[in-house]
Structure formats: C-alpha cells, structure tokens
Chains A and B, each alone.
Chain A
Amino acid sequence: MATIDIDAPGTSQLFIGNEAIARGALEAGIGFAASYPGTPSSEIMGSLAPIAKKMGIYAEWSINEKVAMEAAAGASFAGIRALASMKQNGVNVVSDFLANLVIAGIGKGGLVLISCDDPSAISSSNEQDTRPIAKWLDIPLVEPGTFQEAKDMTKWLFDLAEKTGTLCMLRSVTRIAHARGNVKLGELPKKEQKAYFDQIHDLRNVMPTTFMPVPSALRHAFLHLKLDKAQEKFESSPFNYYVGPDKADLLIITCGSCWLYSQDAVKALKLEDKVGILKLGTLWPLPEKFVEKHLNKSRKILFVEEIDPFLERSVMEMVANLPADSPRPTFYGKRSKHINAYGELNPDLVIKAIASITSITYQPRDVEYGKKAEEFSKSSVPERSMTFCAGCPHRATFWAIKNALKLDGRDGIVTGDIGCYSLALGPAGFFQVRTMHCMGAGAGIANGLGKLGQFGFNQPVLAVCGDSTFFHATIPALINGIYNQSNFILVILDNNATAMTGFQPHPGTGMTAMGEPTKVVSMEALCRSLGARVEICDPFDLESTTATLLEMMAEGGGAKVAIMRRECELVRGKKEKPPYKVHVDPDKCIGEACGCDRLCTRVFLCPGLVWDKKVGKSKIDEVICTGCGVCTDICPQGAIIKEAA
C-alpha cells in the first residue's frame, strides 16, 4: 500500500484525510513540519516523519503545539514553506503566539496551520470548534469536504499564504482526518531549497516598512488588507460550488464532512431535483459575492455544519448588510434547533432535518424488520466498556494510589491530566482521578489545593500526568509548586511513549520523529535540579509503590515528584515475550466463599482475568494475558500463581 511519497502523479490512492493533507504539503514543496500528537491530527506528522529524510525535508515532534508553531514560523522567516499540525486543543495552546504572528505577518515561505477538530469529542477532553478562532484572530480559513480536497487545499494554501503574506489555516474534522477515500495524486516538486533569513527584505511582511518599527495598530490595519486579498481569491475558488436545481425548495449551505452527509441525505430522500447544496470550502473571510449569488436559489436555507453555527452566523451577518429590499429567506439550522449545536452529524441527522423542514416522512428500513432486530438485540448485545490493556502499568499505579490513599485515611484527592490514564476517572482506574481539563492542568490545580492549609485543608493531593504531558505543560506548574511551597505530589506515569496517540517519541525517549537517536532529557535529573524530592517506583511492585506514596504524603511540605516507571505494554509486547506464565490454582481459589467478592475479576478488571461461571472460580484467559504477574499480589488467597516463562 502506498506511502504519501509515492511518485505516481495521476494515480488514485486510498488515503486517510491526514495522509492527503501530508501529501498536499509535499506537493506544495514544504521544507519544514512540526507537530505535537493529538487525535485526530497525529497521522499528518505520522506519515511525514518517516519519509522526511528521503524527501529532503525536516520533520519533528515538538514538545508542545506552541513550540511547533513557533518553529514552523522560524522556517517561514528563512524562506522555507512550513506546516504545523495539531488537534483543537493545540490551537488553544498556540493562540497567544498566533495573535502576535498574524499582526506581524509571516516570512517569505508560506506558513500553514492545520487544526483537526474532534466533534463529539470521541478522543478528546472537550468538544470545540476552532473555526471561530480563525475569525477571532483574522486568519484566512478553509475546510476540505473530501479527501481529494484535503490534499488539493493544503497545496493551494501555501500559495495563498505567500501571496497574502499571512498565516493560513485549514480546519479538518475526525471524519475527514481519519476516514479513507480516493485521492488523485499530483507532481512532487524536485527543486532544492535554500534557507536564508534576509534581515532587510524577508521581513517585508513582518514589518511593512523596512526602516523603523511600525505601531501594532497600524500593522493590524495592514492585516485587514491581507484578509481582503484572501477574500477576493476566495470569491472565485474552485473549492466553493453549487449542486442542484436552479430553483430549489430548500438550499443547504454546508462545509467539511457535512458536505458528504448532505449529499447522502438528499440522495437517500431522492430530493436531487428539489434540494440544492451550496458547498463552501473557503470559510473565512466569507466569499460574500459568491454566497449572495446563490441565496436566491430558495426561500428556505438550512445550514448543515458541525459544532458551532459558524456559517450560519456569517451568512446571517452578511444578509443583515444586504439592501433593505433584498429577499429575506427563512433560516434553519442550530438556531432553529433542526441541527444540533453539539456533537457529530451524520447522514441520518441531516435526513431528519430535511424531512422535518420539507414535511416528508422517511422510513430507513422495513418496519417489521426493525422491530425484529430490536427484539433480538434487546438482551443479546452486552456493553463493551473501555479499560486499560492487559498488562498496562497504569492499572498497577492506580491500585497502589487507591491503597495508599485508603491507608493514609485523610480523603486524599487525585487531580488528572490528558492521556490513557484519563480512564482512571472510571472503573479502569478504580475511580481515583477527580479532575480532567487540559494538558498540565492536573498539576496546576494541585498547586491551588496544596496551598489551602491555612483554611484547615488537610487532604493529601496527588497530581497524575504522563511522561509526554510532563514535558508538554507540567514543568511550569511543578516549578510553581516548588517556588511557592505548595503541598502536593506530582505522580509522573512514565511509560516511555505518547501512548494514547500512537507511541510517538518525546524528549524523554532518546529518539526523534525522523528516527534519529538523540539526547535523553532526564525527568528525574530535571526535577531534582529544581530542588524537588524525587522517588522512582516500579508500579508492578505494588507494596513498595504504595509504601513510598504513603510516606511522601505523610511528609508534607512543598511539591514532590514520584515517577512510576514501566514501559507501555503495547510497546514492550512487540519486542519481548511475556515475563511470566500466570494461572489460577483452582484448589486455592475458593470463589464466592472467599469473601473477597471476586476482587480480581470484578474490581481489578484486567481483561486477562475472567470469571468461570461454571465452576465459580477465577481463571486466566491465556490469549489475552500478557504475563505481567501483578494480579498475583492482589489475591487474598494467593491463588494466582506466576512462573517464569
């Protein structure tokens, strides 16, 4: 199967949207790409990094999104086309830099920001639309409606960035980023690139005059001229088009993956002759003349878009400015509650909206069949809840935390962060984690809780974060805790990978995105240099980990660090055989008579441990068990036995 560097112009390949974006960047001749992993954006860098060396470009996983964007801007200033990609939360992290960058302008090399939003927050802590950020910060914005457009738009955006001298943004969503479709390839450029920061001429965008600094307000006015230029280009963009009859009963205005859903819905309802679709690819600034030309297609307009009513408000704003005698259509969308203002859309939700507006009844399938399918499924489709993998070190860590907090007896609190360990909000981590916000927030919140002693606060505070999260955003919070003597323990769950997003390397791993060995940034050396007490635990040693945490809680004082060090089982399992062969001794396991209330299968919840209903005892599922042996230490009867494999 083809990788994104395949030199086969004109052929059609099956790419996910993220690969299409990366291919578009290659076809545009980028020289520099930087990113921080985050679902659903990770495969953009994930597909660029392995081929970067061969293609003569530079690609990196940066420590966080802000540094990624700043690094990419550096390349732009030296005349190299550069890309920064991230998920929606990343754009928040970068926003301060963006607000300044747009006022200053980019360098000679086109600079593009890719933001992948996650409607329904399938793999996110929050649901958020980044399109309003583009409007808020005056950034020209596009959104692909197909996989082909994901490639073509990305390529085109570098030209636009250079022609306007401003940063351009492409917003994608999960169902483009992570869905697969046909992409017809273009040529790959074969020219050599030279980087040079020309301090006189290349800064023409950074400052409109070359001889003296220009006041920010004037540069802001200049930015608006750049936006006008972008709008002019958008008016004739091939990424905006209308499909449908000249006079329609209903006009849908849509963008992104909703273009695909709208098309599916109109087809499913067989309304191709009655419902028109105006598909927009260039979203901000709105191509007003183009939109106005199509507004008279119908007196009813339905906006189909995910999360915020972005197009809905932009078009309403535009219509408010039309001459008083212009026709006023009736608008349907999020304001009228025909389209949800939260969550992902799909063809069925669009069908529902169209059916409701046009008073059509829609039957997706034979009614009797539907009843039968529902009847058969009622008690036959058990849930499949998410859990830590078999052999995951996090399960052991939270078991130790749970027991340490219980032994301490002061109702200790665990603040959480972003990663696999967020699952500890639920049964997988025994409901130990109480907060989850943005990257680094766990330690930040712990800083506040840890300073409440004067108000009688005596609860121990543990802040958990992963190794990649530690480097991304936790270090300032730790320094704050040491400086201001806040009483909390930062528990770093170091599994030596950015596991949740696909095992990307980070500064602690000794490996770069392009696969080169590099210096290892030691988190313990760093923390000790700050003056923190640092303890390193093996979470698989439940007894000693519990004792260490208990003792650290009792000590009190300023911020301390406990590092839980164990490699992610999914990484280890690919390299090595299981360390132990584990089994349950049926003579020792006394089942329900034990009084443990099935601690191993009901509470510990490792998928490798199953309850054998027939004999009323626990057993190991040998296909799933990874042989970590941790469960041998939780059984009160000592019935789970490990033997060296």
Chain B
Amino acid sequence: MTIKQLVKDPLNLIITGVGGQGNVMISLIIGNALVKEGYLVTIGETYGASQRGGPVMSHVRISRETQYSPFIPDGHADIILGMEPVETLRMMRQFGNPAIVTIINPRPIYSIDVTGGQAEYPDLDKLMEAIKELSAKTWIVNATEEAQKMGSPIFANSILIGALIGSGVLPLDEKSVEPILQETFPKEIEANMKAFNKGIELVKQ
C-alpha cells in the first residue's frame, strides 16, 4: 500500500467541544479511516472528569514515520475542528500558530459558570472575528443549524466530519471515510451519509 505523503509530519489535528457533543466519536471515525490508509495515528482524549458540560478535546496526531505521543506540544496544532466557538478559542490560545486552519460550528453552549452568573459568554461576532484573525484559513460550518433542519442536532457530527474531509486538510477522501461511517451508524447510515455530504457541500461553497 502506498501511503500518501503528508504536507507536514506529524500532522496535528485537534477536535474540541463540550462533553457530550461527540468529539470522541469524530476522532474515532477519522482515526480508523487513517489507520486503514496505513498511517500511524495517536489520539489523546479528555476522559473521566469530562462529564457532560466540561471542555473536551481530542488530539489526533498523524504520521507516516512514527507513533507520536497523545499530546500535541504547545503552539503545534495544524488543524482545529471546533464544535463550539469558545472551546475553539481556548485551544488556539494554547496550541495555535500563524499557519493553523480552523473549521468551526459557531453554535455556543453556555456553561454553568455563565448561567450561574460567575462568568460572561463573549459577544459571538467578536469571538468569531478573533478566531478568523488567529487562523490562516477558517471555514464556518453551521452544523447544528443544518442538523436541526435534518431532524436532530446529533447529525452535526457527521456534517462536521464531511466538512473536515471536504476541506482537504487531511489525507483522506470520501471513499476512505464512508465504510467507517457504515460501520459506526449501521441503522442510521442514510441520514448520516446525507449529513456527511452536506458537510462536504458546505465547505465547497
């Protein structure tokens, strides 16, 4: 099997959001597709204390050469898939750099610190401006909104996977991800494929 050259080795992807949104599911699907293509993949996840409502991240490290550690060093992320805008900025603060590309679902989720009155959620427009300013390239993908149109916010995950593949930032194409989606959602494959294709469409617009 010939393994496609990477634009950078290791290629470092962060998937971030709020506990319960499904970042582990996304990292598993992407990770399995990459391993099938012959890459060495290491994924570090937030576990345990990441109960519903906590900030979560998956570090996905892709290489042709070696098994990297499950932590991306500070300032060394290449791609961030943000399922929530504040969490995206939280990751950029630590792992961002001038070459980073971001794919973001702009739908906010408020924490109990915000609802309890101890913290303020920032102005969404300003927040998105800051993320754009800190990224070499940004794709804004209204995944939750589109998923709700499809019947359930849960489809946001497949939309975001589609956006990640459609953006071309990973050495993966539709064909390598489809079989993994089939395995993951055997019962709801039709709806998830529709969501996946929607995600591709949204970044190609």
**A interface, CB within 8 angstroms of B:** 1, 12-14, 39-40, 118, 122-123, 146-148, 174-175, 178-182, 257, 260-261, 263-265, 268, 346-348, 351, 364-366, 369-370, 372-374, 376-377, 379-387, 389-390, 420, 427, 598, 601-602, 605, 607, 609-611, 621, 623
Contacts and interface: CB of A to CB of B under 8 A. Distances in A.
A135 B153 CA distance: 52
Given A180-B31, A382-B121, 11 more contacts: A123-B48, A260-B42, A265-B73, A364-B75, A365-B76, A365-B97, A381-B90, A384-B55, A386-B51, A611-B115, A611-B117
B69 A369 contact: no
Interface string B109-148: 0111111111111100011001001100000000000000
9 contacts: A14-B31, A174-B47, A179-B70, A181-B40, A386-B49, A607-B112, A607-B115, A611-B115, A611-B116
Contacts of B110: 610, 621
A1 B93 contact: no
A370 B116 CA distance: 31
B48 A263 contact: no
A32 B65 CA distance: 37
Given A122-B49, A380-B86, A384-B55, A365 B119 contact: no
B96 A389 contact: no
B103 interface: no
A184 B134 CA distance: 39
Contacts of A12: 35, 38
A605 B66 CA distance: 46
Given A376-B133, A385-B111, A623-B153, A365 B75 contact: yes
B188 to A, nearest CB: 16
Most buried by B among A257, A265, A373, A607: A373
A383 B115 contact: no
A-B CB proximity, top 10 nearest: A123-B48, A365-B75, A260-B69, A382-B119, A364-B75, A179-B70, A376-B130, A384-B111, A380-B122, A180-B43
Interface of B: 18, 27-28, 31-32, 35, 38, 40-45, 47-49, 51-55, 66-71, 73-76, 86, 89-90, 92-93, 96-98, 110-122, 126-127, 130, 133-134, 153, 180, 183-184
B60 to A, nearest CB: 9
A181 B28 CA distance: 11
Nearest to B39: A182
Contact of A384 (B53, B73, B127): B53
Contacts of A380: 86, 89, 122, 126-127, 130
Contacts of B51: 386-387, 389, 420
B75 to A, nearest CB: 3
A182 B31 CA distance: 10
A643 B27 CA distance: 39
A609 B115 contact: yes
Contacts of A147: 42, 67
A351 B126 contact: no
A257 B69 CA distance: 7
A602 B86 CA distance: 22
A452 B115 CA distance: 42
A392 B130 CA distance: 36
Nearest to B88: A381
Given A387-B112, A605-B112, A178 B74 contact: no
A260 B68 contact: yes
Contacts of A374: 93
A179 B53 contact: no
Contacts of A602: 116-117
Contacts of B115: 601, 607, 609-611
Contacts of B41: 14, 180-182
A488 B76 CA distance: 54
Contacts of A383: 111, 113, 118-119
A257 B68 CA distance: 10
Contacts of A607: 52-53, 112, 115
Contacts of B40: 181-182
A263 B66 contact: yes
Most buried by A among B69, B130, B183: B69
B67 A382 contact: no
B69 A347 contact: yes
A553 B117 CA distance: 35
Contacts of A178: 45, 47-48
Given A180-B43, A384-B54, A369 B32 contact: no
A366 B97 contact: yes
A40 B70 CA distance: 15
A243 B195 CA distance: 46
B111 A382 contact: yes
B163 to A, nearest CB: 21
Contacts of A385: 54, 111-113
B67 A260 contact: yes
B47 A39 contact: yes
B48 A377 contact: no
A12 B35 CA distance: 7
B156 to A, nearest CB: 12
Contact of A598 (B43, B117, B183): B117
A122 B71 CA distance: 15
Given A180-B41, A381-B89, A611-B115, A364 B96 contact: no
B110 to A, nearest CB: 6
